[in-house]
């Protein structure tokens, strides 16, 4: 065990009350480079049943890895629309569950003014190219500052489109957006893009009909979710929420449970933020946290469910932007049951993770590489 691994075995706390102490085992893991030369790759995904892998570059391009090669021609180039730099840029994409039939894909980016836009595009007659003229705006959210954009769009197991939104930025959530249900900032949103124009509100969203809340909201109290994921096997939702000055957190719960308040900015992790005491009534603590002695910004990943690495089944992988380590947990019956630190070659600064159509997991680095995780 390295010094950092030993320290994290104590500093990483887990369980419903964050009191469960588990030893952190170490194990070897294989990471294989599947693409090089990308420009700040921030996300990887694929349409259902498709062997291609699509990589989002922060500057505004979507690239395709096909038959083991990174194609030179982008699938979609939005650089003329995207304002990139810092925490801004083209931040994610999602394929509609019926992409093979309707050709729809969704992107989340910050525009030239720094505001969030979610748009739908349609694939062209050439399957490796989207039609850049087909863009239809789904959501527009004004951003008061340049950071904490969240930025992930993802279809859930229920077919709804989920959108992760940060608190609007600056530091400490100066406008109180995390706890303000009248704004979409600091929230996880859930919308139905198969109905309405440009979308409909799912009738089982938790704040439908509430006078003091936006009906798009699924969960509240988030600072900067980077990223969230649905476990294909269990239906659990994992949210990695970047902390302020002291604590990084991982929230876990049933994806079907709406209206959860994850606490920001009353809480940072499982701790009162900016006060010696606080009212935690109705706030859901994280399943895991770690302090800033061991990282600075949690990078959320996915639960491994790919058939190529059966020994990794059920492991939720995550990293930290400052430290670049690779770790995983397993979560069963409402608690974390194991923690692992993986021995891997230096990955650079981990920017994000990805998951292909087969459920295999990828790590995306600032060195321009995309790595596939596989058992040793």
pLDDT 10s digits, 178-208: 999 999 999 999 999 999 999 999 999 999 9
260 close to 284: Cβ distance less than 8 angstroms:
yes
Predicted local distance difference test score (pLDDT) of residue 23: 85
- Nearest to 161, CA basis, from 118, 123, 197: 118
Structural domain containing residue 320:
3-374
**Tokens 């770790």 sit at which residue?**
327
Instruction: Say yes or no to pLDDT of 38 above 80.
Output: yes
Domains of the chain: total = 1
Average pLDDT, the chain: 94
Which CATH number belongs to the domain containing residue 280 in this structure?
2.120.10.30
- Residues 148-164: b if buried by 16+ CB within 10 A, e if exposed: bbbbbbbbbeeebbbbb
Instruction: Say yes or no to pLDDT of 8 above 60.
Output: no
Instruction: Say yes or no to pLDDT of 5 above 90.
Output: no
- How far apart CA 282 and CA 285 sit, in angstroms, is 10
pLDDT 10s digits, 235-288: 999 999 999 999 999 999 999 999 999 999 999 999 999 888 899 999 999 999
Mean pLDDT in residue range 86-96: 98
Q: List Cα–Cα distances, 273 to 184, 246, 270, 284, 303, in angstroms.
A: 21, 9, 9, 14, 30
Instruction: Give this prediction's pTM.
Output: 0.95
Predicted local distance difference test score (pLDDT) of residue 12: 52
DSSP 225-255: EEEEEE-TTT-EEEEEE--SSSEEEEEEEET
Strands (E) across 111-169 are located at 116-123, 130-141, 153-155, 161-164
Mean pLDDT in residue range 349-376: 96
Band of residue 21 on the pLDDT scale cut at 50, 70, 90: low
Instruction: Say yes or no to pLDDT of 6 above 50.
Output: no
- How far apart CA 65 and CA 224 sit, in angstroms, is 29
Predicted local distance difference test score (pLDDT) of residue 55: 98
More confident residue, 234 or 2: 234
């Amino acid at each position: 065990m390295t010094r950092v691994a030993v320290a994290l075995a104590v500093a990483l706390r887990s369980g419903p009350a964050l009191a469960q102490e588990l030893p952190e085992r170490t194990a070897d893991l294989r990471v294989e480079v599947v693409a090089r030369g990308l420009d700040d790759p921030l996300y990887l995904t694929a349409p259902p049943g498709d062997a291609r892998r699509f990589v989002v570059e922060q500057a505004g391009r979507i690239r395709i890895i096909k038959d083991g090669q990174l194609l030179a021609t982008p699938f979609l180039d939005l650089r003329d629309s995207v304002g990139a730099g810092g925490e801004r840029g083209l931040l994610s994409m999602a394929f509609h569950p019926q992409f093979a039939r309707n050709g729809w894909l969704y992107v989340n980016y910050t525009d030239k003014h720094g505001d969030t836009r979610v748009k739908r595009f349609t694939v062209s007659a050439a399957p490796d190219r989207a039609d850049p003229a087909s863009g239809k705006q789904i959501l527009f959210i004004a951003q008061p500052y340049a950071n904490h954009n969240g930025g992930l769009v993802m279809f859930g197991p229920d077919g709804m489109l989920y959108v992760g939104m940060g608190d609007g930025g600056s530091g400490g959530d100066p406008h109180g957006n995390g706890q303000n249900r009248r704004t979409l900032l600091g929230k996880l949103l859930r919308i139905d893009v198969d109905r309405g124009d440009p979308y409909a509100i799912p009738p089982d969203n938790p704040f439908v009909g509430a006078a003091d809340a936006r009906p798009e909201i699924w969960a509240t109290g988030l600072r900067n979710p980077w990223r969230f994921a649905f476990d294909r096997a269990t239906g659990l939702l994992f949210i990695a929420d970047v902390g302020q000055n002291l604590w990084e957190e991982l929230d876990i719960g049933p994806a079907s449970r709406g209206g959860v308040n994850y606490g920001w900015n009353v809480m940072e992790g499982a701790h009162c933020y900016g006060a010696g005491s606080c009212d935690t009534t109705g706030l859901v603590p994280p399943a895991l946290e770690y302090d800033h002695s061991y990282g600075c910004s949690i990078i959320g990943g996915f639960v491994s469910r790919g058939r190529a690495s059966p020994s990794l089944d059920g492991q939720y992988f995550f990293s930290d932007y400052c430290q670049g380590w690779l770790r995983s947990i397993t979560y069963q019956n409402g608690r974390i049951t194991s923690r692992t630190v993986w021995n891997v070659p230096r990955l650079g600064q981990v920017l994000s993770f990805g998951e292909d159509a087969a459920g295999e997991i990828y790590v995306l680095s600032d060195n321009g590489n995309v790595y596939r995780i596989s058992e040793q």
